[in-house]
Amino acid sequence: MEQTSGLAPGFAQANLAILPQELAGDFQEFCRLNPKPCPLLDVTEPGSAIPKKAASSADLRTDLPRYRVWRDGELIDEPTDIRDYWQDDLVCFLIGCSFTFEAALIRAGVLVRHIEMGVNVPMYLTNLQCAPAGVFHGPLVVSMRPLKPADAIAAVQITARYPDVHGAPIHLGLPEQIGIADLARPDFGDPVPVHDDELPVFWACGVTPQSVIMSAKPPLAITHSPGCMFLTDIRDDDLAVG
């Protein structure tokens, strides 16, 4: 089992994206313009795989359980170590992950269906466009968690306290308004049932930057493999505000 869900409870996990320096400026601007899907936890110096802020003793080339390597937008490898692909011009981006706010929901007694079911969260492409930056543009991807209305209200308040891990939901209740025709057919992840007494609640999702990077077809891009996140030294509590 390589998935990192449930490992190191109390510490934030992160999405990884690695790009050549010539694209890194545009991508960082894309993240700044779209903080809900792309909350930046750390950015390395060009050629460095050490995330000084998130985990100063880590090596992002070896410390994730599995990676995906993309050339011109095509998946070419899924290694457990990327030292063979390393270049001196690569910049690593660590982007907040919903595991932190899901832990906060569970602590508050709000059940999270996909975790209860032991499947991946359902994710959907929306008709909402991210703010573009250079070659990076594309639709917002959202994750969905079905909640009873009172729990949805609590979840808004709880997740709003975690702006660095996607923050408050971006939508709830009316999926067709954001271009989702069928909740039973997610674009990524697994479907989960939405009961009659529940509303679908949608959060901006860390798959957004991956989706945007892939459609930009950079000469080289490296990401974490789905579910195989980077374990930071940042405490979940330190990401809470207010």
CB 53 within 8 A of CB 41: yes
- Determine the Cα–Cα distance for residues 38 and 33; give it in Å rounded to an integer: 9
Q: Please work out the total of residues on this chain that contact a second copy, with binding judged by CB under 8 A.
A: 19
Q: How far is the CB of 184 from a second copy (least distance, A)?
A: 19
Non-local (6+) Cβ contacts of 25 within 8 A are 134
Chain centroid, CA 239 distance in Å = 15
Non-local (6+) Cβ contacts of 235 within 8 A are 10, 11, 12
Q: Which of 149, 185, 215, 237 binds a second copy (CB under 8 A)?
A: 149
201 φ, ψ to 5°?
A: -115, 130
What separation, in Å, do the N-terminal and C-terminal C-alpha atoms of the chain show?
Answer: 36
Q: How far is the CB of 115 from a second copy (least distance, A)?
A: 22
- Determine the Cα–Cα distance for residues 14 and 206; give it in Å rounded to an integer: 9
- Determine the Cα–Cα distance for residues 155 and 96; give it in Å rounded to an integer: 18
String of contacts with a second copy for each residue 2-31, x by CB under 8 A: ------------------------------
Residue with smaller CB distance to a second copy, 9 or 242: 242
Residue with smaller CB distance to a second copy, 62 or 157: 157
String of contacts with a second copy for each residue 73-102, x by CB under 8 A: ------------------------------
Q: Which of 17, 40, 170, 192 binds a second copy (CB under 8 A)?
A: 170
String of contacts with a second copy for each residue 178-217, x by CB under 8 A: -------------------x-x------------------
Judged by the rule CB under 8 A, the positions of this chain that interact with a second copy are: 148-150, 152-153, 156-157, 160, 168-174, 177, 197, 199, 242
